[in-house]
Structure 1
Amino acid sequence: MKRWTAALVGLLGVAAALAAGHLVAALVGPPSSPFLAVGNTAIDFTPSPVKDFAVRTFGTYDKLVLLLGMALVLLVAALVAGLLSRRSPLPGTVLAVVLGLLGVAAVVYRPDLGQLGVLAPIASLVVGVAVFRALHARALRASAGPGPDAPDADAPDADAPDTDARRAGVDSEGRRRFLIASGATAVGAAVAGAGGQLLATRVDVEASRRAVGDLTPARPAPPIPATADFAGEGTPSFITPNRDFYRVDTALSVPRVRAEDWVLRVHGMVDRELNLRYDDLRRRDLVERTITMTCVSNEVGGPYVSTANFVGVPLRDVLREAGVRDGADQLLSTSADGWTAGSPVDVVMEEDRGALVALAMNGEPLPLEHGFPARLVVPGLYGYVSATKWVVDLELTTFAARKAYWLERGWGERGPIKVMSRIDSPKGLSTVTGRAVVTGVAWAQPTGVGKVELRSDGGPWQTAQLAEEVNGSTWRMWRAELDLPPGGHLVEVRATDADGVTQPQARVAPVPDGATGWHSVFFTIE
C-alpha cells in the first residue's frame, strides 16, 4: 500500500486503542486510562536528577511537557509501525500488543487502582489490534486493485477499454470503502475519547467544594500587617493568591474526591484506629495559621515558595486522639492517588509546630489542585515529607519499616527547611537608573529570619531592612538601598535565622535534602 495509507492505518489504530482505553477507564476508574497510567508510572521510574531537571526547566508545566512528549512518541511509533506494515499487518499488530501490555503492566503497578482497572488497557489492546488489522486489510484490498471476480484484462474476448474502465471503477470503489472505514474509525475514536472524558468528570467535585461553604476558624490567625512586605518595590505580596501558589507534585491528573465521600483513616502504631469523615473535622474548633511552604526542588533563587492562611484541625490533636504508641517515629501519609510522604513524629507532635490537617486556604475550601478535600501542612519541613495533598490515610509506623515515595528514590529522611534568601528586584541583567533599591525574601521556617545581608562586587556586607515579622513559620521580606557607581555590579544576599544559623555560601543541589548557596544577580547602573 502507499506510504500515506500505511501511516494513516497506524495512526488510526493507535487512536482507536487509546480512545477505547480512555472510555473504559471512565467506567472503572479514570486513572486506569492507559495513557495516564503509563505516564504516572513513567514519573515513578524517572531518575530523581531527571525529575529535578524537569521541575527546574519547565516548572509547573512539567506534566504538560511529559504528556506532550508521550503523545509525540506514540505518534512516531504509530507512523513507523504503519510504514513497516505496508505489505503485512504483523509490525503494527506487534506494536498494538506491546502498547496494550505496557498499559496493563502500568495499571497493575499503580497502588491506587483496583483489579477492575486492567479492563481499560485490555480494551485498548483488543480494539487497537482489531481496528488496525481491519483497516490494514481494507487498505491492502484497495491497493491491490480488483479481486478474483473482476474481469480478466488478458482474456481474448475482453474489450480493453471497457475492462480498464471497470478495473478503475473497482479500484475507486476499494479506495472509497477504505476512506469511509477510516473516517468512521476517526469519528468513533473521537466520540469514545470525548465520552470517556465526560464520564471521567461525572463526579462533580467542584459542586462538592462549593457546597462546603464557609470554614470559619474558631481561632483566626492574626491579621497580616501592611508592613509585612515591600510589594511596591518588587517583592511578592505577603500572602500568595491561590492561583499563584506553586504546585509541584507527581499527579498527572488531579484526584477527584468529593467531601461527602472522603474518609481519613488513622491507624498503625496507635491505641485506637480512627476513621474521620469531612464533617467530623469541620465540626471541630478550626484554627487558622499563616504558613510558608517550600518545595525541596527549589533551586537557589527559585520560585517554589509561597505563603497562605490555612484553616484546619491541628494534626497533633488528631494523633493524640488516636494515641501514638512508643516507638513510632514516622507518620506515613498517603494521597488518594497512592503517593506517600513520611513525616517525623516528634516534629508533627510539637505543640508549637502548628501542623494541620488543612481544609481551607486563603478564605476558601482547598482548590482541587492543592488537595481538596484535605491535605497536610507541617511548617518547617519541605513538602516532600510533610505536605500530602488529597490525604486519605495516616499510618503511625517507623522509618525502618516503611519508606515513603521520595525516600525510595534516595532523598533525605527528615527534610528540615534550610535558611534561604532570594533577590527579587532588580532582575538579573536588568538596567537600573539612579540609586539601586534591592528587595527580596528570606525564609527559615519554623525558627524565623533574624537578619539579611547584602554585598556588592565582593565588598563588605550591608544589613538590609526587614519587613515586619508575621511569625517564625513564614517568609520575611527585606529591602536595601545600595550606593553604587554607574556600570555593572554583582550583588549577593545571605540570611541568618533567629538562632544565628547563616545561609552557607557553598552551592548544593536540591537532591537529597534541599539546596544551599547565596543567590546573586548582575545588573547595570546608569
Structure 2
Amino acid sequence: MTTQRGNRLPDRDDGGVIVKPTPTELMEDAGSGLDFGTRPDRMPGLLTPIDRFFIRSHAPTPRIDAATWRLRIDGDAVRRPVDLDYDQLCGGFEVVSVQRTLECAGNRRVLLGEELGTTFDGTQWGRGAISTAEWTGVRLGDVLDHAGVDEGAVEVLAESLDDVRASRPLPMTKALAEDTVVAIAMNGELLPPDHGFPARLVVSGWLGAASIKWLGRLEVSTTRFHVPWNTEDYVLIGPDYPAHGPAQGEVITALGVSTLIELAWDARLPSGPQIIRGRAFAGEHTVTAVEYAADDGAWQPADITTAAVPGLWVRWQFRWDPTPGEHVLRIRAFDDAGRSQSEHTAFNELGYMHESVVAHPVTVCEP
C-alpha cells in the first residue's frame, strides 16, 4: 500500500495535555510535555500502579465519550465492515486478562547517547519508559473473527483516535496471538484517559508503539501497510541497518533483553548489608537468568523471585555487603532464545533499542 503521511505534532511543552498527575516523587518528566517515565525507585510490586505507569503519547490525551465511541473494522480482507460500540465490545466476547510489560523502543535513549558520545532527538528517556499491568479485555483475534477475515489477510493496521491518528500494522500471526488483546481495563480499573480509554491494544513483547491507545479503527488488508510509524519512526536507521523497501532501516517489532535496578541514579545507600532488587525483560521471550557484578568483580547469579512468562518482566534480587565509598553495579540478563545483554549497542540515528549492560553508580555512606 502507499505510504500514509501523518500530521504528527512537533515536540512541545504545553501543560495540561495529559490528565493524571505526574508528581516528581513518582514520575520522571522526559521534557516533551507528553511523556513521563516511572521512577525506578518507586516500583513497589510486580505490577506498576496506575498512578506511576509511564506515559508515552504522540499527541495530547483525547477526551472520548464511551457512549458515542465506535471501533471500526474494515479493509479489503474483511467480509463485512463492522462498527462495534462500547457495550458490544465489553459484552460480546470472552473476557481475558493478561499480565504484560510495555516498553518504549526509545527507553534509555539518554544512556545510549552517553555511551556513544552523542545526543539524539526524540523523547529524552532515562530508564523509566517501561511498566507492567494486568490488562483485561477481549482477544483481538475474536474481534477480527466477528467481522470475518479472508484467508488472504496479511496485516492489520490499528489506528488511534488521537490528533495525529497514530497507527502501527501487525502481521496476522501477531494479531491473532492469544495474548494480543483489546484492553478495556488495567489493574482492575477502567482504562484511564492517558492509557487509552475507552479501548487500546496490548501487543505482547513488542515495542510500546504497537499497543495503540484510544483505538478507533482496525483495517485488515491483503497487502502490507507503510505508515510513518514503520517507515520513518520506530525504525533502526544507520550504517548497520540497510533500508527495507519504503522503511528507512530495520523496522522495530519485538524487543530485546534489558534490566533495571530499583534504585535512583547515583543512589546513596546506608552502610551495611543490602538487598538490591530490580527487573529484567526479554520482549516476547522469557528471562532465564540474571547476573550481577560489583565494581570489577566477577559475574554472580541473582535470584529471580517471580515467574518467568513471555512478554512479562521478572523481579530479581541479590545480597550485597559493600564497603563505604563509590561503587558501580552491573546487571545482565539471559533469555530462552540464547540472547543476553551486550557491553555496547550499535549506533542508530533515532537512539532506539538500547540493550547494553548499564554501569549504575552507587555511593555507600560511612557508618
Shorter-normalised TM range: 0.7 to 0.9
**Pair 1:463 & 2:301 matched:** yes
* Whole-Å separation in 2 of the counterparts to 1:512 and 1:415: 15
Q: Secondary structure at the match of 1:261?
A: coil
* Whole-Å separation in 2 of the counterparts to 1:249 and 1:508: 26
Cα distance change of structure 1 residues 446 and 388 upon mapping to structure 2, 3 Å threshold: same
Mapped contact 1:60–1:248 kept (Cα < 8 A) = no
Aligned residue-pair number? 306
**Pair 1:374 & 2:342 matched:** no
What TM-score, normalized by structure 1, do the two folds share?
Answer: 0.53
Cα distance change of structure 1 residues 339 and 355 upon mapping to structure 2, 3 Å threshold: same
The Cα of 1:356 is off from its aligned counterpart by: 0.6
**Pair 1:524 & 2:349 matched:** no
Mapped contact 2:234–2:252 kept (Cα < 8 A) = no
User: For 1:72-105, what per-residue CA distance to the aligned partner results, in whole angstroms no more than 9, with x for missing partners?
Assistant: xxxxxxxxxxxxxxxxxxxxxxxxxxxxxxxxxx
* Whole-Å separation in 2 of the counterparts to 1:280 and 1:433: 58
The Cα of 1:326 is off from its aligned counterpart by: 4.2
The Cα of 1:461 is off from its aligned counterpart by: 0.5
Alignment map for 1:69-468 (pairs within 5 Å):
236-252=44-60, 254-268=61-75, 269-283=77-91, 284-299=93-108, 302-337=127-162, 338-351=165-178, 354-384=179-209, 386-397=210-221, 400-409=224-233, 411=235, 412-425=250-263, 427-468=265-306
Specify the alignment match of 1:487 in structure 2: 325
* Whole-Å separation in 2 of the counterparts to 1:383 and 1:410: 10
Specify the alignment match of 2:18 in structure 1: none
* Whole-Å separation in 2 of the counterparts to 1:280 and 1:274: 11
The Cα of 1:522 is off from its aligned counterpart by: 1.8
Mapped contact 2:155–2:225 kept (Cα < 8 A) = no
Cα distance change of structure 1 residues 347 and 60 upon mapping to structure 2, 3 Å threshold: same
* Whole-Å separation in 2 of the counterparts to 1:306 and 1:333: 22
**Pair 1:62 & 2:29 matched:** no
The Cα of 1:395 is off from its aligned counterpart by: 0.9
* Whole-Å separation in 2 of the counterparts to 1:360 and 1:238: 17
Choose between structure 1 and 2: higher helix proportion.
1
The Cα of 1:261 is off from its aligned counterpart by: 0.8
Gaps of 5+ in 1: 1-38, 45-57, 66-230
The Cα of 1:288 is off from its aligned counterpart by: 1.4
Cα distance change of structure 1 residues 261 and 509 upon mapping to structure 2, 3 Å threshold: farther
* Whole-Å separation in 2 of the counterparts to 1:410 and 1:304: 15
The AA in structure 1 aligned to 2:262 is D
* Whole-Å separation in 1 of the counterparts to 2:288 and 2:90: 36
RMSD, aligned α-carbons: 2.8
Mapped contact 1:344–1:414 kept (Cα < 8 A) = no
* Whole-Å separation in 2 of the counterparts to 1:346 and 1:513: 25
Greater Cα offset, 404-413 or 267-276: 404-413
Cα distance change of structure 1 residues 432 and 403 upon mapping to structure 2, 3 Å threshold: same
Q: Secondary structure at the match of 2:342?
A: coil
Mapped contact 2:273–2:322 kept (Cα < 8 A) = yes
Mapped contact 1:334–1:393 kept (Cα < 8 A) = yes
What TM-score, normalized by structure 2, do the two folds share?
Answer: 0.75
* Whole-Å separation in 2 of the counterparts to 1:326 and 1:467: 43
Mapped contact 2:306–2:314 kept (Cα < 8 A) = yes
**Pair 1:503 & 2:344 matched:** no
The Cα of 1:507 is off from its aligned counterpart by: 3.0
Structure with more contact order per residue of length (Cα contacts < 8 Å, sep ≥ 6): 2
**Pair 1:514 & 2:353 matched:** yes
Cα distance change of structure 1 residues 234 and 463 upon mapping to structure 2, 3 Å threshold: farther
* Whole-Å separation in 2 of the counterparts to 1:276 and 1:428: 50
Q: Secondary structure at the match of 1:425?
A: coil
Mapped contact 1:508–1:517 kept (Cα < 8 A) = no
What's the % identity of the aligned pairs?
31
**Pair 1:474 & 2:312 matched:** yes
Greater Cα offset, 234-243 or 496-505: 234-243
Specify the alignment match of 2:239 in structure 1: none
Which one has a bigger Cα radius of gyration? Answer: 1
The Cα of 1:434 is off from its aligned counterpart by: 1.4
The Cα of 1:389 is off from its aligned counterpart by: 0.8
